[in-house]
Amino acid sequence: MEKKKIISRHINIKSSLPAPGTKNLFTRLKKVESRSMHGQLPIAWKSAKDFYIYDISGNKFIDFTSTIFVANTGHSNDRIKKYIRKTLDNNFLHSYVYINEIRAKYIEKLVKFFGKGFQKAFLMSAGTEATEAAFKLMRMYGQKKKKRKLGIICFEGNWHGRTLAAQMMSGDENQKKWAGYKDKNIHHLPFPYPWKVSSTTPEKFLNKTIRKLKKKIDLKKDVCGVMIETFQGWGALFYPKDYIQKLSEICKKNDIIITFDEMQAGFSRTGKNFGFQHYDIVPDLVCCGKGMGGGVPLSGVVGRADLLDLPDIGNMSSTNSANPISCSAGLAVLEEIQKKNLTQKTKIKGKILHKELEKISKLKPNIFKVYGKGLIAALIFEKKIPGIEVKLKYFVEQCIRDGLLLVYTGRESIKIGPPLTISKDAIITATKIIKKNILSIFYDKNKTYRSSN
Ligand SMILES: Cc1ncc(COP(=O)(O)O)c(C=O)c1O
Q: Whose CA is nearest to atom 9 of ligand 1?
A: 127
* 320-360 confidence digits (pLDDT tens): 999 999 999 999 999 999 999 999 999 999 999 999 999 99
Same domain for 31 and 65, yes or no, is yes
Give percent of the chain above pLDDT 70.
98
Farthest-apart Cα atoms in the chain, separation: 68
- Tell me how far the alpha carbon of residue 294 lies from the centroid of ligand 1, in angstroms: 14
Answer yes or no: is pLDDT of 176 > 70: yes
295, 318, 339 - which closes a domain: 339
Ligand 1 binding pocket includes 106 (Cβ within 6 Å): no
- Tell me how far the alpha carbon of residue 68 lies from the centroid of ligand 1, in angstroms: 9
33, 40, 386 from 36: Cα distances, Å: 8, 10, 27
Residue 384 lies inside a defined structural domain of this protein: yes
Residue 451 lies inside a defined structural domain of this protein: no
Same domain for 329 and 358, yes or no, is no
Same domain for 310 and 409, yes or no, is no
* 253-299 confidence digits (pLDDT tens): 999 999 999 999 999 999 999 999 999 999 999 999 999 999 999 99
Residue 448 lies inside a defined structural domain of this protein: no
Average pLDDT of the residues of the chain: 95
Residue 65 lies inside a defined structural domain of this protein: yes
Residue 452 lies inside a defined structural domain of this protein: no
Question: In CATH, what number is assigned to the domain containing residue 66?
Answer: 3.90.1150.10
316, 339, 362 - which closes a domain: 339
- Tell me how far the alpha carbon of residue 200 lies from the centroid of ligand 1, in angstroms: 31
Same domain for 328 and 228, yes or no, is yes
- Tell me how far the alpha carbon of residue 290 lies from the centroid of ligand 1, in angstroms: 8
61, 137, 245, 432 from 160: Cα distances, Å: 30, 15, 22, 33
* The total number of structural domains that make up the chain: 2
Contact 242, 208 (CB under 8 A): no
Ligand 1 binding pocket includes 159 (Cβ within 6 Å): yes
Average pLDDT over residues 32-58: 95
C-alpha span between 311 and 138 (Å, rounded): 11
Structural domain including 54 reads: 6-70+342-442
Q: How confident is the model at residue 452 (pLDDT cuts 50, 70, 90)?
A: low
Give percent of the chain above pLDDT 90.
91
Answer yes or no: is pLDDT of 363 > 90: no
Q: What is the pLDDT of residue 183?
A: 95
Same domain for 307 and 412, yes or no, is no
Ligand 1 binding pocket includes 330 (Cβ within 6 Å): no
Answer yes or no: is pLDDT of 380 > 90: yes
Ligand 1 binding pocket includes 349 (Cβ within 6 Å): no
Confidence (pTM): 0.96
- Tell me how far the alpha carbon of residue 264 lies from the centroid of ligand 1, in angstroms: 8
C-alpha span between 134 and 32 (Å, rounded): 34
Same domain for 223 and 308, yes or no, is yes
Q: Whose CA is nearest to atom 14 of ligand 1?
A: 161
Same domain for 207 and 306, yes or no, is yes
Q: What is the pLDDT of residue 3?
A: 53
87 φ, ψ (degrees, to nearest 5): -65, -40
* 438-447 confidence digits (pLDDT tens): 999 998 766 6
Half-sphere exposure of 448 (CA within 13 A, CB side): 4
Ranges 90-94, 130-134, 198-202: which has the least confidence: 198-202
Same domain for 159 and 280, yes or no, is yes
Q: Which atom of ligand 1 is nearest to the CA of 128?
A: 11
Same domain for 210 and 260, yes or no, is yes
3-class DSSP state for residue 452?
coil
| Substitution candidate for ligand 1 out of 128, 164, 276 with most atoms within 8 A of CB | 128
C-alpha span between 303 and 285 (Å, rounded): 4
Residue 447 lies inside a defined structural domain of this protein: no
Ligand 1 binding pocket includes 161 (Cβ within 6 Å): yes
Answer yes or no: is pLDDT of 70 > 70: yes
Q: How confident is the model at residue 4 (pLDDT cuts 50, 70, 90)?
A: low
Residue 155 lies inside a defined structural domain of this protein: yes
Residue 449 lies inside a defined structural domain of this protein: no
Q: What is the DSSP letter of 401?
A: H
Q: What is the pLDDT of residue 354?
A: 98
Ligand 1 binding pocket includes 262 (Cβ within 6 Å): no
